Amino acid sequence: MAKSSNTIFFCKECGYESSKWSGFCPACSTPNSMVEAPKAGSGRGRLNSGNPLSQARPVSLSEIQNENQTRFSTGFEELDRVLGGGLLPGSLVLTGGDPGIGKSTLLLQMCRHMALSGRKVLYVSGEESLSQLKLRAVRLGEFEGDLRFLCETDMDRILEILKEEVPAVAVIDSIQTMAAQSAASAPGSVTQVRECTNMILNTAKSLGISVFIVGHVTKDGAVAGPKLLEHMVDTVLYFEGDRHASYRILRGVKNRFGASGEIAVFEMLGSGLKEIPNPSAYMLSGRPENASGSVISCIMEGTRPLLLEVQALLAPSAYGQGRRTATGVDHNRVALLLAVLEKRLSLGLSDFDAFVNVTGGLKLSDPALDLAVVMALYSSHKNKSVPDNLMVFGEVGLSGEVRSVQLAKERVQEAARLGFTACLLPKSSLSADLNARGMKLIGVSSIQEAVSIL
């Protein structure tokens, strides 16, 4: 197929550019994600004209004036923490997530708070009508102060209004519905999404407006995903969680003004989102007592320790070959840990079905969960329960050794805070400063030692 030279191929997911089409993206390996779009020729020149950096010259550090930029609160303490201690004027924040997860609700609640505390706020929606916005707003409480709404999808008009009004904070919900005249393609296409974000970026930075951009995560739909924009914005937040469960996790994936990897946990109620300041207690609520196959472990999300329950069930298989099913933890990791258990503890597990589940619907990759998975499997196999007041963490190696993990102190402290009185942990993580009041620390160096406490 001969292609004219004034078009180029983009990956809808990550924005990778190529002059040739291919069946999957060479950069992120997503199949069928390459789409054809016009080369950004005429549009590009215009983009730079408004850029204050185009006349730049080199300066030394001492010449740089630190305008005293004070961060301000979004009204959610947890969100402030994910942002690195509040919102900086002029910063661009991308909020991604599946449709219906609660992005618009979170941002509207944030706008409400900031208007209440005396800031000028503009909420631009390209998805909902004014009456739909009002329906949502009445569920969230009283609104006061300078918060105004605009239903518009024309980017040029939005920028005009931003320049006229100069709000302190603006929300663009969502970037995939916006269209700029200069990019001659459909809303939601790679070219449009990039062009619109670039236009917002220039305006927001020059006027000092903090902008929240909403981006839908799409599986393989016709619109470009928010990944494409990650390198253009200052901060990237992803809203995750099971749409059917009530809690939501907001994860900071990138942050130019603070630590990334921080999370905030929210609960979706009838009157909007409520932050959960104590997520460990929330995750552990309703756990069974004295049940075999249930073990409490601690993972780290950014700097935040989170206690959760690992459940395992080993049941004789109906068909000779045992099935392995894992939810929340990597399937291959579970297979590996089962093999280690079989080999090092001489257990015959091949004709058992094994199910491992981390409650709460989280997807975890912290290796500190290994020892808890091993203990849960063993406890289910022997039908002996793990003591209720015991918290377990540690990485397990192929020879059955228990290896140290980072931030052991934070994990032990979190367990002590929630009333646990004993901790099973890698021997190599034991140190003098670990001692939390009233906490019994059991250091082990192999899984044989670990299971012997049962």
Q: Which class for 17: exposed (0-12), middle (13-18), buried (19 or more C-beta within 10 A)?
A: middle
Residue number, 174 or 294, with CB nearest to Mg ion: 174
Which phi-psi region, left, alpha or beta, contains residue 89 (left: φ > 0; alpha: ψ -120 to 50)? beta
Residue number, 109 or 292, with CB nearest to ligand TYD: 109
* Nearest distance, CB of residue 40 and ligand TYD, angstroms: 29
Which residue from 29, 48, 271, 399 is in contact with ligand TYD, where contact means CB under 6 A? 271
Integer Cα distance of 350 and 343 in angstroms: 11
By CB under 6 A, tell whether 270 contacts ligand TYD: yes
Stretch binding Mg ion (CB under 5 A), from 69-77, 86-94, 99-107, 183-191: 99-107
By CB under 5 A, tell whether 104 contacts Mg ion: yes
Give the up-direction half-sphere exposure of residue 263: CA atoms within 13 A in the CB hemisphere.
21
Place of tokens 């400063």: 433
Say if CB 424 and CB 442 are below 8 A apart: yes
**Phi and psi torsions of 401, nearest 5°:** -80, 150
Stretch binding Mg ion (CB under 5 A), from 97-105, 250-258, 390-398, 419-427: 97-105
By CB under 6 A, tell whether 136 contacts ligand TYD: yes
By CB under 5 A, tell whether 203 contacts Mg ion: no
Q: Which class for 184: exposed (0-12), middle (13-18), buried (19 or more C-beta within 10 A)?
A: middle
Residue number, 101 or 340, with CB nearest to Mg ion: 101
Query: Per-residue string for binding with ligand TYD, 230-269, x by CB under 6 A?
Result: --------------------------------------x-
Query: Per-residue string for binding with ligand TYD, 79-98, x by CB under 6 A?
Result: ------------------x-
Which residue from 272, 305, 394, 443 is in contact with ligand TYD, where contact means CB under 6 A? 272
* Nearest distance, CB of residue 236 and Mg ion, angstroms: 17
Residue number, 240 or 388, with CB nearest to ligand TYD: 240
8-state DSSP, 361 = S
270 binds, among Mg ion, ligand TYD, none (CB under 5 to 8 A by kind): ligand TYD
Residue number, 134 or 139, with CB nearest to ligand TYD: 139
Stretch binding ligand TYD (CB under 6 A), from 19-27, 99-107, 161-169, 296-304: 99-107
Residue number, 85 or 99, with CB nearest to ligand TYD: 99
By CB under 5 A, tell whether 95 contacts Mg ion: no
By CB under 6 A, tell whether 103 contacts ligand TYD: yes
What is the distance in angstroms between the CA of the first residue and the CA of the last residue of the chain? 67
By CB under 6 A, tell whether 104 contacts ligand TYD: yes
Long-range contacts, 259-263 (Cβ 8 Å, 24+): 259/84, 259/302, 259/303, 260/302, 261/301, 261/302, 261/303, 262/81, 262/82, 262/84, 262/301, 262/302, 262/303, 262/304, 263/82, 263/301, 263/302, 263/304, 263/306
Place of tokens 């290896």: 403
Integer Cα distance of 448 and 444 in angstroms: 9
Per DSSP, the three-state class of 196 is helix
* Nearest distance, CB of residue 249 and Mg ion, angstroms: 18
Buried (b) or exposed (e) across 36-71, using 16+ Cβ within 10 A? Answer: ebbebeebeeebeeeeeeeeeeeeeeeeeeeeeeeb
By CB under 5 A, tell whether 176 contacts Mg ion: no
Q: Among candidates 400, 404, 408, 409, which has minimal Cα distance to 446?
A: 400
By CB under 6 A, tell whether 105 contacts ligand TYD: yes
User: Binding-site residue total for ligand TYD (CB under 6 A)?
Assistant: 14
Per DSSP, the three-state class of 425 is strand
Integer Cα distance of 168 and 90 in angstroms: 8
Which residue from 31, 85, 99, 277 is in contact with ligand TYD, where contact means CB under 6 A? 99
* Nearest distance, CB of residue 360 and ligand TYD, angstroms: 18
Say if CB 440 and CB 419 are below 8 A apart: no
Residues between 357 and 386 with contacts to ligand TYD, criterion CB under 6 A: none
Residues near ligand TYD (CB under 6 A): 97, 99-105, 136, 139, 268, 270-272
Residues near Mg ion (CB under 5 A): 104
